[in-house]
Structure formats: C-alpha cells, structure tokens
Amino acid sequence: MDSGFGHNCAMLTVSGLACSRGERRLFSDVGFRLDPGEWLHVQGANGAGKTSLMRVLVGLAHADAGEIRWREAATPSAEFRRDLIYLGHHAAVKEDLTPLENLRLAAALDGIGLDEKAALASLVRLGLRGREDLPVRVLSAGQKRRVLLARLLTRPAILWVLDEAFNALDVGAVRLLGELIAEHLGAGGMAVLTSHQPLPVPGGKAVML
Amino acid sequence: MNPLLATVRRDLLLALRRKSEVLTAVFFFVIVTSLFPLGIGPEPTLLKKIAPGILWVAALLATLLGLPRLFAADHLDGTLEQMALSPSPLGLLVAGKILAHWLLCGLPLVLLAPVLGLQFDLDPSALGILTLALLLGTPLLSLIGAIGAALTLGVRGGGVLLALLVLPLYIPALIFGAGAVEAHIAGLDVGGHLSLLAAMLVLAAFFAPWATTAALRIALE
C-alpha cells in the first residue's frame, strides 16, 4: 500500500525552529532536512521537548521562531495534511467502537474510502485477527496501540510522524513496526520518530534536543 | 463518503453504543416540562400563558446538558487531534459534529414538544407553531452552543462556565421562539418571529462552525 510515492520532489525542510513553554526555552535553532527514504530520530531526555517538537512539526502547536517547509511550501497547508500521518501519545481510537469500525470511520473522516477487506487485512497484519469485532474497550493497552498503528497501512501518507510509537508494544510488535517503517522508507516514504529505546530501523539521521 | 456525513454517522453510532448520555437530556426535558403543570395545578388560562416560555427554557437547558460532551470525549482520547490533522477541512468535520448533536439533542425535543404541550392546554394550531419555532430554534441552540463548548474545552469546571457563556447568547432565540407561540395565542401574525428565527439560524449556520473551528485549534495547542 506504500508503493507509488514520487521519489523526486517530496521533501521536508526545517530551519531555526525554537519553542518555549511559559518562561522556559525548550529548544532553539533546530534544523534538519529529510528526503524520500530517510528517517529522523528525535532524541532527548524527559521534558527536553521531543513531543513539543513533534506537535510543532505537524502544526498542532506554534513555534516561537523558525520555518517548516513541505515540498518547498510553508506549512501547515492542505497538501501537507494530506501527506502526513501523526500518531501521538493518545490512544486516538474510540473505546465503544470495534477496531474495524474505528479504522473505517477514521478513513471516512479523512475522505478516504476503505473497504472492509482492506481494513481487515491491515488489522490481521498488526496481529489483531479475531479481535476485529470486539469493542476496543476490552482490548489490552498494547492491542489498542496496534489498532492505532493499523492506520499507517490504511492511510496513504508520505510522512509518518510517530511520537513514542514503540510504547506498550511487545517484542513482536516492536519488530513488526520496525518492518513497517522499513517498508515505508523503502517505498520512498519518510519518518520522524521519538523513542527512548534503540529503534529497530537501520540508518537514519538524529537530532538531539 | 462525504467527511461531514461520515462524522454524523460516527457520532450517531457512538451515541447508540452509549444511549444513557442522550436519553438524559431528553428525559430532563420531559420531566421539567411536566413538573410545571403538576406544581401549578389545573388552571388552564395560566398554564396556556406560561407554556411557550417554559417549553423553550426547558429546551434551552436540555440542549445545554449535552453540550460539554460535544468535544470533550474526542479531546480526551486524541481523536480531535486526528480530526485537526485530517486532510478533510476541520470546519466540515465540526459542522458534522454539530449536526449530529442536533439530531441527538435537538430533534427529539422538537418531536416531543407537541405531546408535552398538551399538558398546558395548547390548541393544535398553537402546538404547530411551537413545533415549527423549535424546529428553527433548536439547530440555532446547537450551533451557538458548539462555540461555547469549544471555548471551554479543557477548562476545569468548564460546565458552569459554558452555561454562563452560552445562556445569554440564547436569549434572542428564546424571545422570538416563545414570542411566536405567544403571538399566535394572542391572535397576531407569527411570520415576523419565525422569519427572524430563520435569519438567525442561517447566520449561525454560516459563522458558528468557523468560530468553533478557530476555538478548537486554540484549545488543541
């Protein structure tokens, strides 16, 4: 599902980014650039501002200074939102709905048609076979996380911004997510990740906050 | 599927899984409007006189009851964040949520009003005007309420603040809505009242989703 991204023009450029919370300066003069097939590991201690950087990057929060450009154009733009998927700390799934309903409604909200077979296939890939018709409420924390991660397969996005995506996942799921990211990069996608664990994805740039 | 309709479908499905939240507001409307005839006693002229005001105030408060939940659940579980980053315009999704809120909290009131109006000895034509006025007025309440719900999102004790913020804005709807029924009972023309209600509805339908979206973006930061 990740195939077919253009290898030519997609590019993320960040320069001189600064952000503060109240009086405290979290980070300043952060800059990096990502080309198709590259990924960035955002590193830093607790409270260093990794999540803030992610939120500024996707456009949920404002930076004090700096510039984020996507395909040469300033963000946030409609084009950027179409090319982006952001998975943060939140579960971002509805507890009263089943994993299948969650996936299909999330796709419909994004204006993407998703048939049941494709939704089911992505849930199976995430190891949720037989759980697709249970309310998410009864699933474990790791399984809820897997429901959210299934969106990576159903939403055709070029830039994956994953904040602590490896939390609550078991060994198998960590390996699986590593594979998914590697496949995505192989197809010309890009990823920005934060994690305290060593990531099971080869290569990658790093930014230290 | 159209993102707006998808949002409506999603919110209706969620309400179906959690019926008690919707039924609370409807039962509140039924009980409050039934308490007045019971408390005042069988005095048809007095009941008839106070009916429009009481039914409208009860509708206002019943709508208010469902408002804090309009965005709170989505904000808490992070789905609101996903909506803000969706390729679909947030304003469209917000409009869908407001429409779903009206279908769940407003439309039942419109449908119940003629039945509850019988307790106040309203004649059939007055009941018709009451229903029509509520049909125009309750979407207005949902639209204005959504702005307040977005502004108080994530604020501690937001429920009380929401009431203080939104209820004064409901006054025009109350005056013209209840006024239409009173005018009809007094034998006057109701066209003016209903036209003003409709004009306010059109204005709110245009501006409220936009204002709500702006408030939500601030709340998410």
Q: Which residues of B touch A95 (CB under 8 A)?
A: 77
Query: CB–CB of A70/A35 below 8 Å?
Result: no
A91 → closest Cβ in B78, B87, B221:
B78
Does B1 reach chain A within 8 Å, measured CB to CB? Answer: yes
d(CA A164, CA A149): 12
User: A152 lies in which domain range?
Assistant: 12-208
Contact A108 B93 (CB under 8 A): no
* CA end-to-end distance (rounded Å), chain B: 29
Residue whose C-alpha is closest to residue A177's, from A39, A68, A44, A77 = A39
Query: Does the residue A6 lie in any domain?
Result: no
pTM over 0.90: yes
| H-run or E-run covering A120 | helix A116-125
Q: Which of B82, B92, B99 to mutate to test the interface with A (most CBs of A within 10 A)?
A: B82
Does B123 reach chain A within 8 Å, measured CB to CB? Answer: no
Residue whose C-alpha is closest to residue A127's, from A87, A176, A54, A161 = A176
Contacts of B42 (CB under 8 A, 6+ apart): none
Query: Does the residue A105 lie in any domain?
Result: yes
Query: Does the residue A197 lie in any domain?
Result: yes
Domain residue limits, chain B: 3-220
Query: CB–CB of B11/B4 below 8 Å?
Result: no
- φ and ψ at residue A30, rounded to 5 degrees: -90, 130
Total domain count for chain A?
1
Residue A188 carries which DSSP code? T
Contact A58 B86 (CB under 8 A): no
Query: Does the residue A4 lie in any domain?
Result: no
Q: Which residues of B touch A88 (CB under 8 A)?
A: 78, 81
Query: Does the residue A3 lie in any domain?
Result: no
Q: Which CATH number belongs to the domain containing residue A157 in this structure?
A: 3.40.50.300
- pLDDT tens, chain B, 221 aa long: 799 999 999 999 999 998 888 899 999 999 999 999 999 888 889 999 999 999 999 999 999 998 998 999 999 999 999 999 999 999 999 999 999 999 999 999 999 999 999 999 999 999 999 999 999 999 999 999 999 999 999 888 888 999 999 999 999 999 999 999 999 999 999 999 999 999 999 999 999 999 999 999 999 98
